[in-house]
């Protein structure tokens, strides 16, 4: 298969498996999405979805959030981890949104990245999922699968994002990044990976990855 045929096979398979795409983090507007994505760093979406209703019950907009102290925010979000940094970030960015943007979340990745505790991936998720602006946020699942499929060299997430944007049509980015995340969780996880269930890697996968998989499997027998 050519590289183009492999890319098309991956796209078609993902569209067949995920014709409708569930959004991983529960939210109701750009602000609550921004907070949820910030909280998801080094945590699970399941854990974040358990905590955000408790936080948003007290403050689901920047004006109410700044009325809480950093310590009060931390008390609610502690279970998601990294709470000292995240609580300061949430309080700080809420203050900036009020002062600079009349309480609205900016639609520009560069402006979002200027906010406390907001990195490139978080900003990309927000513009993609909240505003429908084409972006390709790369998380651990996408980074792993792009390497397994031979679509990127696995060097770093910056390179993976560049390769994804080069290989996939721009109009598909917003759906594809979510489809790949779900596929990674359901069929191609880092641990407990069963290649028989992973049709994309089995069909288009990097030879080195497939060889290592079968070698490891053989050694276990």
| Boundaries of domain holding 200 | 3-20+137-220
Q: Where are the alpha helices (DSSP H) in the chain?
A: 3-17, 30-39, 45-58, 62-65, 70-77, 83-101, 109-113, 120-131, 140-148, 157-167, 173-186, 199-204, 207-220
Claim to verify: residue 69 and residue 121 sit in the same structural domain: yes
SS3 of 197, please? helix
Distance CA 133, CA 125 (A): 10
The whole-angstrom distance between residue 114's C-alpha and the CA centroid of its chain comes to 19
The CATH number of the domain holding residue 141 is: 1.10.1670.10
Domain assignment present for residue 25? The answer is no
**Residues with catalytic function:** 121, 139
Among the three residues 106, 131, 156, which one is the final residue of a domain in this structure? 131
pLDDT value at position 217? 85
Terminal-to-terminal C-alpha distance of the chain = 31
- Residues 193-208: b if buried by 16+ CB within 10 A, e if exposed: eebeebbbbeebbbee
Tell me how many domains the chain contains: 2
Give me 166's structure tokens: 């080069």
Distance, CA of 79 to chain centre:
20
56 and 124 part of one domain? yes
Does residue 102 form part of some domain? yes
Residue where one domain finishes, among candidates 110, 131, 152: 131
d(CA 108, CA 114): 10
Token pair listed for 19: 């014709």
The predicted pLDDT at position 23 comes to 86
Ranges in the chain, pLDDT < 50: none
């Amino acid at each position: 298969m050519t590289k183009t045929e492999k890319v098309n096979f991956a796209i078609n398979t993902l569209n067949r498996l995920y014709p409708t795409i569930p959004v991983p983090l529960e939210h109701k507007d750009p602000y609550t999405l921004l907070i949820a994505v910030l909280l998801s760093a080094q945590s699970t979406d399941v854990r974040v979805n358990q905590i955000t209703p408790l936080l948003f019950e007290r403050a689901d907009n920047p004006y109410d959030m700044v009325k809480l102290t950093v310590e009060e925010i931390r008390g609610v979000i502690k279970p998601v981890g990294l709470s000292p940094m995240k609580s300061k970030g949430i309080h700080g960015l809420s203050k900036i949104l009020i002062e600079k943007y009349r309480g609205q979340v900016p639609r520009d990745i560069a402006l979002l990245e200027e906010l406390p505790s907001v990195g490139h991936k978080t900003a990309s998720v927000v513009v993609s999922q909240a505003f429908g602006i084409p972006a390709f946020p790369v998380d651990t699942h996408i980074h792993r699968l792009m390497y397994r499929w031979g679509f990127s060299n696995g060097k770093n997430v910056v390179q993976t994002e560049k390769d994804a944007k080069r290989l996939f049509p721009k109009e598909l980015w917003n759906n594809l990044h979510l489809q790949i995340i779900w596929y990674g969780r359901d069929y191609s996880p880092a641990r407990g990976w069963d290649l028989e269930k992973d049709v994309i890697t089995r069909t288009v996968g990097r030879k080195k990855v497939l060889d290592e998989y079968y070698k490891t499997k053989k050694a276990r027998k």
